[in-house]
Amino acid sequence: MTLVERVVLTPTDAPEAAAVALAELGLGALVPDTVVAFTGRNDNWAGTTDSGARVFVKRVAEAAALTRAHSFEVVSAGLRRLRSPRLLGAAQGLQVFELIEDANTGAELAADDSFTDGLASSIGEAIGELHGAAADVERTVLAMPPLRRFTSLTVAEYTAMSGGELEFWRLVQRDSRLHAALSELRADEAAAEAVPIHGDLRLDQLLVRGEEAHITDWEEFRLGDAARDIGSFAGEWVLHAMNAIVEHSDSEELAHEDVLARGVEELTLRRPLISAFWRAYVRQRPVTDPALPVRATAFAGWHLFDRMLAVAQQTHELPATARAAAGVGRQMILSPQRFLATVGLEEPVCAT
């Protein structure tokens, strides 16, 4: 099992709220035979309406997430390089977007080894443009990593967790060095310049047609540390490298040193993509903070833990892939400077 999967589902009937929302927006009703759904945190439906519109409908349960996504729409109106599916409207706790047809996700392209340097560059430019934009929005703290859980769980949290989640927290709660390093990273993040960020950038949130990428899922949009987005993009490729190790060997039989060494070898093959992203980012948004790539590398390490936790929530025990990824992620968090060149973020920042 890899840590990134995309599955097309046979959906249940779209709820009454979707029908009301589409009617309010003048888009008609979904034609049942055209409707599909995809895995994700939020319920969703995609299909053709009886008026001929091709739509993607997504439920966003949290009111604050809807507000953040709306804030992104306001900010993105003035951006030229960043593309995102056009929002057709929102109602009934749902967002309705224009469906991007004949597109693959970035995760699918990565799995097929067809994610190009040019595509990585275009995403770097888009994220650099976003981080350089003016935005009258609030700076708020992202929930992950949840530092309190590194020392304790409430009774309600404990009883609601899967076996995999409990195993995850049992693993990390014994690691005082990891807890200290993440606490320091969160402090450095709080002190960093606040810029508009996506907040949850992953390859499966890129919809790609040719060399044109649309970035989706803006529910975590806010002012924050640019290192979050840069680290997430880099972390996705570290994750991809770790998945490749498991595909070609039984990682349960590998010593930690072997996992780390093979992870570096696999990442070396993918480093040009991260470097292309980073060079394009710096061209678009000159960087004067020398600690930015260091924090980004640490956040890339955390990204592996974040993805491991996402898998743990769906399983009764942690799979080998997750454990292998955690070992590499831990080293990146503890010693990010050591991994700058390995990850591809060693390019110098601009002089002040």
Neighbouring C-beta atoms of residue 155, cutoff 10 Å: 7
Question: What is the amino acid identity at position 295?
Answer: R
Taking each helix axis as running N to C, give the angle between helix 320-334 and helix 176-191, from 0 to 180 degrees, rounded to the nearest 10: 60
Q: pLDDT digit string (tens) for 102-113?
A: 888 998 898 888
Residue with tokens 């309190």: 148
How many Å separate Cα 77 from the centre of its chain? Answer: 22
Q: Are 165 and 309 in contact (CB under 8 A)?
A: yes
Residue 155 is given by DSSP the state H
Q: Kindly state the DSSP code that residue 36 receives in the 8-state scheme.
A: B
Q: What are the average pLDDT values for consecutive 10-residue runs of the chain, which has 352 residues? A: 39 67 85 76 81 86 77 86 88 84 88 91 96 87 88 92 90 91 95 94 90 88 95 93 68 58 76 94 93 96 89 81 80 93 78 46
Cα distance between residue 107 and residue 120, in whole Å: 13
Q: Which residue has the tokens 């770790």?
A: 242
User: Residue 337's pLDDT is what?
Assistant: 93
Cα 232 from Cα 277, distance rounded (Å): 12
Q: Which amino acid is present at 317?
A: E
Structural domains in the chain, CATH included, are 8-101 (3.30.200), 140-193+225-343 (no CATH)
Residue 351 confidence (pLDDT): 46
In sign, the C-alpha dihedral spanning 4, 109, 330, 195 is: negative
Under 8 Å CB-to-CB from 117, ≥6 apart: which residues?
272, 273, 276
Output the CA torsion sign for 91, 202, 298, 166: positive
What confidence tens digit (pLDDT) does each residue in 116-142 have? 999 999 999 999 999 999 888 888 888
With contact defined as beta carbons under 8 Å apart, do 25 and 89 qualify? yes
**pLDDT score, position 251:** 45
What is the C-alpha to C-alpha distance for residues 304 and 328, in angstroms, rounded to an integer?
Answer: 8
Token pair listed for 109: 């392209």
